[in-house]
Amino acid sequence: MAVYTEVSDEALSAFLAAYDIGTAVSFKGIAEGVENSNFLLITTRGQYVLTLYEKRVDPADLPYFLGLMRHLAARGLSCPLPVAAADGALFRPLAGRPAAIATFLPGVWPRRVRNEHCAGVGAALARLHAAGEGFALTRANALGPAGWRPLFERSAARSDEVRAGLGEEIDTALASILAAWPDGLPRGQIHADLFPDNVFFLGDEVSGLIDFYFACTDLLAYDIAVCLNAWCFEPDGSFNVTKARLMLGAYAAERPLLPEEREALPVLAAGAALRFLLTRLYDWLNHPPGAFVTPKDPLEYARKLRFHRAARSARDYGLD
């Protein structure tokens, strides 16, 4: 949760003048999103979210991210629709940063995940994958398998500060996962970060997906693996196979999984756990003292990684 950049009312007025969405009636920083600054913007025409892209987002990626959101929304997926300025631009400078306006999405993200949520997110993920077809741009997964070894090397020497033996455990897992990483599975546009705070619900129904700033072009089943990690473990660390079965079943009802995708689930899930372990480990070791954002515990993902490394087949995820 963070608003990093302050926007003056005059700068906002000048910015809005480039759009055809009326003038500001309210403008409040939202305490959500750790990567960018988000503001709820109410104008004389409607409700919007204004995002200022902070340093972790490369402006060169914005045409992909914002274009993908427009592509998905045009195909009926409920996600924020980036609003073009009068000159057609999807982002413009504000307070020294690139900024974009998107439509406001109703819904509340689940603080405690229930079974019904897992079915909803599985179906929504499959619809996202289908809606992504035909999008012309691609973006490599900067946090995909090719990036894990270099990412680990930035933390390797200090890994054992977090827990004795962690570095060796990661090193072994990394070699094993990369050796077994599947080739030739269906690829497409993936969200790659579909955690509960990025999925809005109204009641038990998914009302929309947000935060496409890790989206990329990669294995569709890897996106499922991220969700298994993000949604199907209980706070005590146990894996809830009922949640996994509901998620995978709802996904497969929209897009049937190939046999080779099912077989790859354990290694994909282990890779996804490793990816979050590595970024959390780096953030844990490198956050400035007194940082605004408390880093997340990397060991949560070390435990998830162990679960997936012990899994033998899709059966361990509730599939028959």
User: Is 182 near its own copies (CB under 8 A)?
Assistant: no
**Which token pair is 50?**
């204004």
Contact between residue 117 and residue 231 where contact means Cβ atoms under 8 Å apart: yes
**Residue closer to its own copies, measured from CB, 32 or 61:** 32
In this chain, which stretch among 5-13, 51-59, 150-158, 278-286 interacts with its own copies, using CB under 8 A? Answer: 5-13
Distance CA 280, CA 230 (A): 14
Q: What is the DSSP letter of 239?
A: B
| Cβ-based neighbours of 199, under 8 Å, separated by 6 or more | 109, 110, 117, 120, 121, 124, 206, 208, 209, 210
**Residue closer to its own copies, measured from CB, 54 or 171:** 54
Contact between residue 307 and residue 175 where contact means Cβ atoms under 8 Å apart: no
User: Is 235 near its own copies (CB under 8 A)?
Assistant: no
Q: Say how many residues touch its own copies, by CB under 8 A.
A: 34
Contact between residue 57 and residue 213 where contact means Cβ atoms under 8 Å apart: yes
**Segment 87-146, which members bind its own copies (CB under 8 A)?**
104, 106-112
Q: Name which position in 18, 34, 42, 311 contacts its own copies (CB under 8 A).
A: 42
In this chain, which stretch among 61-69, 85-93, 241-249, 283-291 interacts with its own copies, using CB under 8 A? Answer: 283-291
Distance CA 214, CA 108 (A): 21
User: Is 1 near its own copies (CB under 8 A)?
Assistant: yes
Q: Name which position in 14, 26, 59, 242 contacts its own copies (CB under 8 A).
A: 26
Name the residues that contact its own copies, by CB under 8 A. 1-3, 6-10, 12, 24-32, 40, 42, 104, 106-112, 201-202, 289-292
